[in-house]
Amino acid sequence: MTTLERSYANWAPYLLSVARVVAAALFMEHGTQKLFSFPAGPPSGPIELMSVAGLAGGLEFFGGFLLLIGLFTRPVALVLSGEMAVAYFLMHAPEGFWPLLNKGELAVLYCFLFLYISSAGGGAWSIDRMWLERGEGMVQAPTERWRAA
């Protein structure tokens, strides 16, 4: 492994955390828009909390917050990835095939980014990693448990 490759490998967990935090903060905005009409309300007006849009807003706000701090990162990211897949196929795909034209490119991007995070974990700067380093093992990936055994 070259020095440059080692440098990339050393930075990877930290940059994964940065990507997770930025994506989660931006994702939370969609939840705050639906739930609190902040920074601006949804174009269709206030939403009912006990509706599909209300459920989506709750997942986006609270799930985004959990991702932001890196708590239960893998399962939360998997749920949010599924939410974005459902959002794409329910709201965007009926408008046409191409994501750029049906305004679904952000849903697709979030879907696959969250799917990656559900596999890779929260990175170096997360509560999950802090628990793992303390030895509680609550959020260990299967490969990490097998190496420890």
Q: What's the pLDDT tens digit per position in 13-51?
A: 999 999 999 999 999 999 999 999 888 877 777 788 899
pLDDT at residue 129, as a whole number:
93
pLDDT at 138 (0 to 100) = 52
Q: Share the mean pLDDT of the chain.
A: 90
**Across 123-140, average pLDDT:** 80
> Where do the domains of the chain lie?
3-148
Q: How confident is the model at residue 149 (pLDDT cuts 50, 70, 90)?
A: very low
Q: So what's the pLDDT on residue 123? A: 95
Per-residue confidence (pLDDT) for residue 82, from 0 to 100? 98
Confidence of residue 93 (pLDDT cuts 50, 70, 90): very high
Question: What would the mean pLDDT of 89-98 be, rounded to a whole number?
Answer: 96
Residue 136 is predicted with a pLDDT of 59
Q: What is the pLDDT of residue 137?
A: 54
State the pLDDT at residue 28: 97
How is the chain classified by DSSP, letter by letter?
A: --HHHHHHHHHHHHHHHHHHHHHHHHHHHHHHHHHH--SS--TT----TTSHHHHHHHIIIIIHHHHHHTSSHHHHHHHHHHHHHHHIIIIIGGG-S-HHHHT-HHHHHHHHHHHHHHHH-S-SSSHHHHHHHHT--TT--HHHHHHH-
pTM of the full structure: 0.86
Res 143 pLDDT > 60: no
